[in-house]
Amino acid sequence: MRDENQLHAAVVELVAMDDATIKYSTVQNWYPGDAEGRGGIYNFVTKRGACRGARSKISWTQVETGSAITWKYPSCILQGEGSVGEFYSVAVTTNRQQADTGTKMIHIGANTRSTIVSKGISAGRSNNTYRGLVKILPKAAGARNHTQCDSLLIGDQCGAHTVPYIESRNATAKVEHEATTSKIAEDQLFYCRSRGLSQEDAVNMIVNGFCKEVLKELPMEFAVEAQKLLAVSLEGSVG
Amino acid sequence: MGALLQIAGLTAGIDGREILTGIDLDVPAGEVHAVMGPNGSGKSTLSYVLAGREDYAVTGGSVRFGGADLLAMAPEERAAAGLFLAFQYPVELPGVGNANFLRTALNAIRRARGEPELDAVNFLKLARAETKRLSMPDDMLKRNVNVGFSGGEKKRNEVLQMALLRPRLAILDETDSGLDIDALKIVADGVNAQRGPEFAALVITHYQRLLDYIVPDRVHVLIGGRIVRSGGPELAHELEASGYAGLAEAA
């Protein structure tokens, strides 16, 4: 039974009217398949949000650790004047997992703002992709976006990919994209271990530090769960 | 029982290149020993090998620490056994709060020693007392480990860790490098405050300057990967006056 793949295809739609704020947080831990990539969930999810009202706000926060394949792009249609979209994401892949996730920020109204923070952690022979669209339409005068994509590699057989799509059709808009890729450095691990931390505790500490900007967006109980989940997901991925 | 740290015929290197060519050195409990030497003599290699850095390969000899085979232990086991390395270049850990790091390290070591763990409140009390003693601003506990710290702050943070972890042997790897005189005094005070029958230190330095403030019981000169001369504190002054050149010829 477990050699087969199951499909999870959920649809979430959010609508925020004048001055409304919606915060939607997910921690996802579906069965990822075995070490060789047999079995596991295909997690193909539609999530979209409409900021229809003035000054409305939609904030997506996600922690993705499970599933054999994840395709997921929670989006915000920023229609109301001064509306705000946020996307905070941690995606962890190990063994043969594939995660292709990101967001769409579609700026329609004037003075709309969006923030994207994506943290991808790849281990084993997995592939982790950030794919995101920032689209500024002609009437979105003064629109602003800041995107930050950081990738952390554990081991030398995994992949991290960053695929940003940026379309701006208004000359007054400001769009920024920052991306970094780093490897857990031997000297960081050694520093922690020389202070008495086990190899696994050291990895957890470094990974949690790497994800902190996103984890602090989660409700408290979720954040604690998410930290534990990261630790379990990465067990045995170093050394 | 013999000395706390006993190094005999230690040879080690990196990438197939031999750097330590036969170190013999004993550090008894309660003593502070200085290891001095020119650049490239193997000072940092010695500290990394003692702390267990895996990219260095030990090719011969033995190291006993408190009677146990140090070289057979993982770095975290060495820390639990009471060995501490103050890094020449402390490593930055982005997103990891200093207080959280220190408490995790302290509790890992307390667990390994069979002592009860400290809760957040008691830990902060202890840590604040130590930061005050080291003239460190309180916010150093809140900042991320070594991220955006000045050179002097990084070194003081190392001494803070040492003060909290209470090692039996502290290895200070060129802790004086990059320090101005005020920071140097604070660091030296931090080390001197630990001195006692239960504390030993190996102070690794290029210059005599630090040894004006941390007066060693013994001084060893490391050249070409081995100890070529040992003596009392006066040997450091002699080196300051005449340099390493004469000793290099003797080696």
Dihedral over alpha carbons B187, B193, B194, B198 (to 10 degrees): 150
Secondary structure of residue A66 in the 3-state scheme: coil
* A195 contacts in chain B (CB < 8 Å): 79, 101, 105, 108-109, 161, 165
> Is residue B15 less than 8 Å (CB to CB) from chain A?
no
Give yes or no for a contact between A42 and A76, defined as CB atoms under 8 angstroms apart.
Answer: no
**Lookup: tokens for B55:** 């990219």
Residue to test with chain A: of B49, B70, B76, most A Cβ within 10 A = B76
Q: What angle do CA B229, B235, B241 make, to 5 degrees?
A: 115
ipTM: 0.92
- C-alpha–C-alpha distance, residues A77 and A62, integer Å: 18
- C-alpha–C-alpha distance, residues B79 and B86, integer Å: 12
Residue in chain B nearest A204 by alpha carbon = B96
**Nearest neighbour of A196 by CB, restricted to B54, B55, B108:** B108
Q: What angle do CA B134, B209, B150 make, to 5 degrees?
A: 45
Instruction: Please report which residue ranges of chain B form alpha helices under DSSP H.
Output: 43-51, 75-81, 98-112, 120-133, 151-165, 181-194, 234-242, 245-250
pLDDT for B136 = 81
> Is residue B56 less than 8 Å (CB to CB) from chain A?
no
- C-alpha–C-alpha distance, residues B10 and B219, integer Å: 18
Residues 6+ apart with CB under 8 A from B229: B220, B221, B235, B247, B250
pLDDT for B26 = 95
CATH number of the domain within which B232 lies? 3.40.50.300
Per-residue pLDDT of chain A (239 residues; tens, 9 = 90+): 567 889 999 999 999 999 999 999 999 999 888 888 888 999 999 999 999 999 999 999 999 998 999 999 999 999 999 999 999 999 999 999 999 999 999 999 999 999 999 999 998 899 999 999 999 999 999 999 999 999 989 888 999 999 999 999 999 999 999 988 887 778 899 999 999 999 888 988 888 888 888 888 888 888 888 888 888 888 777 65
For residue A233, the distance in angstroms to the closest alpha carbon of chain B comes to: 19
Residues 6+ apart with CB under 8 A from A216: A223
- What domain count does chain B have? 1
Range of the domain at B194: 5-250
Say what angle helices B98-112 and A199-215 make with each other, to 10 degrees: 150
Interface of B with A in 91-120 (CB under 8 A): 91, 93-96, 100-101, 104-106, 108-109, 112
- C-alpha–C-alpha distance, residues A87 and A105, integer Å: 9
pLDDT for B1 = 56
pLDDT digits (tens, 9 = 90+) for B118-156: 998 999 999 998 888 888 887 888 899 998 888 888 888
Interface of B with A in 168-197 (CB under 8 A): none
Which of A113, A70, A106 is CA-nearest to residue A89? A70
| Residue with the two structure tokens 């400001």 | A174
- C-alpha–C-alpha distance, residues B224 and A148, integer Å: 48
Give yes or no for a contact between B168 and B82, defined as CB atoms under 8 angstroms apart.
Answer: yes
> Is residue B85 less than 8 Å (CB to CB) from chain A?
yes
> Is residue B148 less than 8 Å (CB to CB) from chain A?
no
Q: What pTM did the predictor assign?
A: 0.82
Test A211 with B95 for CB contact under 8 angstroms.
Answer: yes
Secondary structure of residue A201 in the 3-state scheme: helix
**b/e per residue A108-141 (b: at least 16 CB within 10 A):** bbbbbbbbbbbbbbbbbbbbbbbbbbbbbbeebb
CB atoms within 10 A of CB B192: 13
pLDDT for A216 = 86
Dihedral over alpha carbons B155, B160, B166, B167 (to 10 degrees): -20
> Is residue A186 less than 8 Å (CB to CB) from chain B?
yes
Q: Which parts of chain A are beta strand (E)?
A: 5-8, 11-16, 21-28, 40-51, 57-64, 69-72, 75-78, 84-93, 98-101, 104-107, 113-122, 127-136, 144-153, 159-168, 174-183
Residue to test with chain B: of A194, A198, A201, A205, most B Cβ within 10 A = A194
Test B79 with A212 for CB contact under 8 angstroms.
Answer: no
* B207 DSSP 8-state letter: S
* A198 contacts in chain B (CB < 8 Å): 76, 108
| Residue with the two structure tokens 């994209």 | A177
Which ranges of chain B have pLDDT less than 50? 251
